[in-house]
Structure 1
Amino acid sequence: MFEKIRRRLLLSYLIVLSLILGGFAIAVRIVFTHSLYKQQTQKLAALAQVGAANAEFDNGKLRIENDFPQDKMFKNYQELNWFDTKGNLIAKQGRDILKLPTHVKEGEQINPVGKNRIQSVTLAIINSDDKQFIGYVIASQSLEEFDETLNKLDLGLGGGIVVALIISGAGGVWLTRQAMQPIEESFERLKQFTADASHELRSPLMAIKSNAGVALKYREGMRETDAEKFQAISSATNQMTRLTEDLLFLARHDNIPNHIKETVNLSSILNNLVQLYQPQAVAKKIHLKSQFNEKLYLLGDLNQITRLFSNLIQNAIYYTPSKGIIEIIANLSVSHLVVNVQDTGVGIAPGDLENIFERFWRADKSRSYNSGGSGLGLAIAQAIAENHGGLITATSQLGIGSCFTVRLPVGSLN
C-alpha cells in the first residue's frame, strides 16, 4: 500500500518539477532568442545605415564608395546590396548569400535560402544634398550562426533539466520515505490496536453469545417479548463477532506475505463451496452453477483461498435477485489460474467500481449492517489474493450483473 503511495508521490513531485523546469527553460529561451535577435537586427540596421551614408547621387546615377571592411563582413556572414529607385542592383559587397528580390521592400525581413535563413534590413537612401530618395540599401546576414547558438542553448537547457530531474528523483525517493515514515508508523500502531481490540472483544462476545444461547434454549417461564430480545441480542452478537474476526484478519494479514504454503486443489475448493451455498441459492431461487477443470492447483493457504472465494460467492448471492444466475468459471491461463464469479445481480455503477474493495464501503449508503455482512468481504478477498501474488478485478453493468475475476499464480510442491 505505502509503496504505491510513495511511487505516486515521487511521480507527482517529478511531474510538477519537470513542468516548473520546462516553463523556466521556455521562458529563458524566449527571452534569450528575443534579445539575441534584437541585437542582431540592430547590428544589421547600423550596417545598412553605414551603407546608405556611403552612397551618393552623381550625374543622375547612384554611386557607392568602396571603403568597407570586407574581412569583417565575410567573418559575420554579412552582405550589402545597393539598388536604385527601380530596384536594379547597383553594387554589392560581402558574401553572396541573398537572392536578388523581384522588388525591394523597406524594413526587416527573414527569407529562406536553401537550408538556411537570411535576415535582411532594407533602408531607403536619401541624398544628403537635396534630401531626395535615390535608392535602397539592403544589409543581410545568414542566421546559421544564430540557429547554432539556439541549438546549443536547447541542448544545454534540456541536459540541465534531465540532470536536475535525475538528482531530484534520487532526493525525492529519500524525501518520500521520510515523509511517509510517520504515517506508516501510525498505521502500524493503528493495525496493532485493531488487532488487540478485536482479540480482546472475542471473549466478552463469546460470553454474551453463550448466555443468550442458553436463555433461548431454556425458554420455560420466559415471556415472548423477552425471547425476541434475546434473539436480537444473539443476532447482534453474531454480527459483532463476524466484524471482529474480519478486522482481526485484516490487521494480521494486510500486506503480509503468505508464509503457509501447500499445494491447494482449487477445483476441490470451488466444488465444495458450490455444494455449501447451493441450499442458500435454492432458498433464494437462484441458479448457482460451476464450470472448471478438475486439475487446477496452486501454492498457498487452504483456509485463505477458501475464504476468498467464499466471500465472492456470498457477495454474489446477496446482490442477485430471485431467479438470477451465478456462474463460477475456472480456467488455466499459461502461468495463472483465472476464476470468474459472475452474476445477474443489481450491478455496480461505473463510478463505484474503483471503491468496491475499500473497507466498509457500500454503494448504497442507506443500507444498515444488519442487512448484510461487515462490509469487509471484498477487502478481505483482495488482501488474500495479493498475499498470494494475485489480483482481483471487477466489471459490472447496472441492472445486468457483475463479474469478479481472480488471477492467482499456478504452483505445486510436487
Structure 2
Amino acid sequence: MFQKIRYQLLLSNLIVLTIILTAFAITVRITFAYSLNQQLIDRLNTLARAAATGIDIEDGEVETDDEEIIAGQNQAVQWFDVEGEFLAQQGEYPLSLPLDISQSLQKQNSPYPAQGLTTPVNDDESGEFVGYVRVSESLTEVQSITRRLDLGLGGGVFVSLVLSGFGGIWLTRQAMQPIEENFQRLQQFTSDASHELRSPLMAIKTNAAVALKYSEGIRSKDSEKFQMIGSAANQMTRLTERLLILARTDKLTQPDWEIVNLTSLLSKLWQFYNPHALRKKIDFKDKIAGNLYLRGDKVLLTQLFTNLIKNAIYYTPLGGVVEIIAKPLGSNLIIKVQDNGIGIAPEYLEKVFERFWRAEKSRSYKAKKFGLGLAIAQTIAQKHGGLITVDSQLGKGSCFTTRLPRVEKLKNKKLYYR
C-alpha cells in the first residue's frame, strides 16, 4: 500500500517539476530567440543605411556604386530602381524572392535560410525618391545557435529530472518512514486488541445465553436486558473478527499462498448461500466457468467473495435477482457479483471501499453493519494483485467486478502463469 503511495508522490513531484522546468526552458528559449532576431534586424538596418549611399541620380538616371564593399560575411545587398527593377547586388546570400515593397521584412527557407530588409532610398541633395535597397543575412548561424540552446535546455531539463528523481526517492522514503511505522503500530494494536477482546466477549455471550436459558427467576425486564447484552456482544464479536481479518490481510505475504480452484470455491459459496436467497425469494443464478485457477490464500479469497455475495443478497429486495459470473479473460479472471437491488448513488461510488463507511442515504436498510465488508474484499483483492470495481445505478442495482491474475492448470497438473 505504501509502495504505491510513494510512487504516486514521486510521480506527482516529477510532473510538477517537469511543468516548471519546461515553462522555464520555453521562456528562456523565447526570450533568447527574440533577442537574436532583434540583433539581426539591427544589423540589417545598419547595413541598409550604409547601402543607401550607394545609389543616386546622375543626369536623370539611377546609378549604383557597387564597387565599394558594403556587405559583410553571410550578408548581401541588392539595389532596385523606383519601378522595382533589379539594378545590382553584392554579397553571397541575396534573397531570391521577388521584391515586395509592401513588406519591409522578408524571409526565405530555400535555397538557404535568410532574412531580408527592404528600405526606400531618397537622393541626399534633392530628396527625390530614387529606388530601393534590400539587404539580407543568412540565418544559418542564428539557427545553429538556437539549436545549441535547445539542446542545452533540453539536456538541462533531463539531467535535472533524473537528479530530482533520485532525490525524490530518498525524500519520499524519509517522509513516509514515520507514517509507515505509525501504521504498523496501529495494525499491531488493532490485531492485539481484537484478539484480546475475543475472550471477554465470549464470556459475556456465554453468561447472557445461560441467563436466558434458565430465566425462571429473572424478571421480564431483566430478560430483555440480557437479550440486549447478548446482541451487543454478538455485534462486537463480528467487529473484532473483521478487524482481525484486516490485520491478517495487511500482513499477507506471497510465500504462504497456494493454488486455489476458484471454480470449486465459487460453486460451494453459491450452494451455501442459495438457501439464504430462497428465503428472501431471490433468484440466485450462477455462470461459473470451469478450470479457473489462481494463486493465493484460500481462506481470504473465500472471505472476499462471501462479503460480495452477502452484500448483494442483503441489498436486493424480495423477488430480486443476484448472479455470479466467473470467466477467464486473457491473463486475468473476471468475477462479477451483480444484483438488481437498491443500488448506490453516483456520489458514493468512490467511497464504498473505504473502511467504516456506510452509504446510509443510498442504502436505507437499517442494519448493524460496520462498513468493513467491502473494504476487506478490496484489500484482499489488492493483496492478490487484483482489484474490485463497482458499477451501480440508484434503484436499478449494482455490479461488483473482481479482476485477479490467472493461473492455468495443465494435464500433468503442473501450473504456469498466463
Determine if contact 2:259/2:295 at 8 Å carries over to the other structure: yes
The 5-angstrom pairing of residues 279-298 of structure 1 reads 279-293=275-289, 295-298=291-294
How far apart are the structure 2 equivalents of 1:179 and 1:215? 54
Partner letter of residue 29 of structure 1? R
How far apart are the structure 2 equivalents of 1:356 and 1:189? 26
What is the CA distance between 1:143 and its match in structure 2?
2.1
1:90 is matched with which residue?
87
Partner letter of residue 4 of structure 1? K
1:29 is matched with which residue?
29
How far apart are the structure 2 equivalents of 1:114 and 1:67? 28
Determine if contact 2:343/2:363 at 8 Å carries over to the other structure: no
The 5-angstrom pairing of residues 176-187 of structure 1 reads 176-187=172-183
How far apart are the structure 1 equivalents of 2:368 and 2:283? 21
How far apart are the structure 2 equivalents of 1:294 and 1:38? 75
What is the CA distance between 1:221 and its match in structure 2?
2.9
- Match of 1:313, SS state, is helix
Structure with bigger RCO (C-alpha 8 Å, 6+ apart) = 1
Cα gap change, 1:369/1:237 in structure 2, threshold over 3 Å: closer, same or farther? farther
Match of 2:297 among 295, 301, 307: 301
Match of 2:312 among 311, 316, 320: 316
Cα gap change, 1:81/1:310 in structure 2, threshold over 3 Å: closer, same or farther? same
Determine if contact 1:80/1:140 at 8 Å carries over to the other structure: yes
Deviations 1:356-383 (A, max 9, x none): 2221122225979971432111111222
What is the CA distance between 1:279 and its match in structure 2?
2.9
TM-score, normalized by length of structure 2? 0.89
Give the count of matched residue pairs: 410
RMSD: 2.5
1:61 is matched with which residue?
61
What is the CA distance between 1:96 and its match in structure 2?
5.4
Determine if contact 1:98/1:113 at 8 Å carries over to the other structure: no
Partner letter of residue 349 of structure 1? A
Moved more, 35-44 or 111-120: 111-120
Q: Is 1:4 aligned to 2:11, yes or no?
A: no
Match of 1:243 among 231, 239, 243: 239
Q: Is 1:342 aligned to 2:338, yes or no?
A: yes
2:353 is matched with which residue?
357
What is the CA distance between 1:406 and its match in structure 2?
2.6
Q: Where do 5+ consecutive residues of structure 2 fail to align? A: none
Partner letter of residue 279 of structure 1? P
How far apart are the structure 2 equivalents of 1:66 and 1:274? 101
Determine if contact 1:392/1:407 at 8 Å carries over to the other structure: yes
Partner letter of residue 26 of structure 1? I
Match of 1:254 among 250, 253, 264: 250
Match of 2:227 among 220, 227, 231: 231
TM-score, normalized by length of structure 1? 0.90
Q: Is 1:377 aligned to 2:354, yes or no?
A: no
What is the CA distance between 1:103 and its match in structure 2?
4.7
Moved more, 263-272 or 43-52: 263-272
Cα gap change, 1:289/1:86 in structure 2, threshold over 3 Å: closer, same or farther? closer
What is the CA distance between 1:289 and its match in structure 2?
2.5
Moved more, 151-160 or 314-323: 151-160
1:99 is matched with which residue?
96
- Match of 2:218, SS state, is coil
- Match of 1:145, SS state, is helix
Partner letter of residue 253 of structure 2? P
1:387 is matched with which residue?
383
- Match of 1:371, SS state, is coil
Cα gap change, 1:275/1:223 in structure 2, threshold over 3 Å: closer, same or farther? farther
1:14 is matched with which residue?
14
Partner letter of residue 77 of structure 2? L
Cα gap change, 1:79/1:337 in structure 2, threshold over 3 Å: closer, same or farther? closer
Determine if contact 1:195/1:248 at 8 Å carries over to the other structure: yes
1:271 is matched with which residue?
267
Determine if contact 2:261/2:292 at 8 Å carries over to the other structure: yes
Q: Where do 5+ consecutive residues of structure 1 fail to align? A: none
Cα gap change, 1:65/1:382 in structure 2, threshold over 3 Å: closer, same or farther? same
Cα gap change, 1:205/1:21 in structure 2, threshold over 3 Å: closer, same or farther? same
Cα gap change, 1:98/1:367 in structure 2, threshold over 3 Å: closer, same or farther? closer
How far apart are the structure 2 equivalents of 1:203 and 1:103? 98
The 5-angstrom pairing of residues 121-270 of structure 1 reads 121-254=117-250, 256-270=252-266
2:393 is matched with which residue?
397
Partner letter of residue 317 of structure 2? P
Over the matched positions of the two proteins, sequence identity in percent amounts to 54
